[in-house]
């Protein structure tokens, strides 16, 4: 039995969790750059023979440890960011799985004519393209509503 409460909970918080790990990966990348700079400064100071060579050697070892820990932290945060789906991805995964289960388990679904399946594919592709176009034009919609009819016709002629 599917626990729908858990599924919908994770759907609602997926984007937030992904953003948290994204921020952690960025912080880790900044810390990685700082640790690389610290490592190079301490290594060059230790090799140049400053008076406290033992102290610079100790700093070099410390920066190497910091670099190693930060590298692992950044790598794990980045991997988690990559593998946690966004809400849109999760919905597609769940919907695709449900459709796949329906088609493979329901005997009446196997009798669907190929023309209907082609129509479904076309409609889904059109819906995806329309959603992409709406997202791309969402910023332009506010500026277009303030234009006159002549200006809108001019814009349409120029886009062709």
Of 74, 95, 111, the domain-final residue:
111
The pTM assigned to this predicted structure is 0.58
97 and 118 housed in the same domain: no
106 and 141 housed in the same domain: no
Q: Tokens representing 67?
A: 């670099």
91 and 134 housed in the same domain: no
3-state class of 48 per DSSP? coil
pLDDT higher than threshold 60 for residue 58: yes
The predicted structure's pLDDT at residue 118: 74
Range 26-51 average pLDDT:
85
Reported as a pLDDT band with limits 50, 70 and 90, residue 28 is: very high
79 and 132 housed in the same domain: no
CA dist., res. 11 & res. 88, Å (int):
9
78 and 31 housed in the same domain: yes
Question: DSSP assignment of 60-111, as one string?
Answer: HHHHHHHHHHHHHHHHHHHHHHHHSPPHHHHHHHHHHHHHHHHHHH-TTGGG
82 and 133 housed in the same domain: no
118 and 100 housed in the same domain: no
pLDDT higher than threshold 60 for residue 122: yes
**Which residues constitute the domain of residue 36?**
1-111
3-state class of 37 per DSSP? helix
Domain count, the chain: 2
149 and 117 housed in the same domain: yes
Tell me the angle at which helices 87-105 and 4-47 cross, rounded to the nearest 10 degrees.
Answer: 130
Q: Are 15 and 43 in contact (CB under 8 A)?
A: no
107 and 117 housed in the same domain: no
Phi, psi of 35 (to 5 degrees): -70, -35
| More confident: 50 or 31 | 31
The predicted structure's pLDDT at residue 112: 66
Reported as a pLDDT band with limits 50, 70 and 90, residue 90 is: confident
124 and 142 housed in the same domain: yes
pLDDT higher than threshold 60 for residue 141: no
72 and 135 housed in the same domain: no
CA dist., res. 98 & res. 78, Å (int):
30
Reported as a pLDDT band with limits 50, 70 and 90, residue 73 is: very high
The predicted structure's pLDDT at residue 91: 76
5 and 58 housed in the same domain: yes
């Amino acid at each position: 039995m599917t626990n729908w409460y858990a599924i919908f909970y994770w759907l609602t918080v997926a984007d937030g969790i992904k953003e948290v790990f994204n921020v952690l990966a960025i912080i880790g990348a900044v810390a990685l750059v700082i640790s690389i700079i610290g490592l190079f400064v301490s290594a060059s100071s230790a090799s140049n023979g400053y008076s406290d060579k033992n102290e610079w050697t100790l700093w070099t070892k410390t920066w190497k440890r910091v670099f190693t820990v930060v590298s692992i932290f950044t790598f794990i945060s980045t991997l988690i960011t990559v593998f946690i789906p966004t809400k849109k991805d999760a919905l597609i995964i769940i919907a695709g799985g449900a459709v796949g289960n329906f088609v493979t388990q329901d005997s009446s679904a196997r009798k669907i004519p190929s023309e209907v399946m082609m129509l479904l594919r076309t409609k889904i592709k059109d819906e995806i393209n329309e959603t992409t176009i709406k997202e791309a034009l969402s910023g332009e919609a506010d500026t277009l509503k303030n234009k006159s009819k002549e200006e809108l016709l001019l814009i349409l002629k120029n886009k062709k």
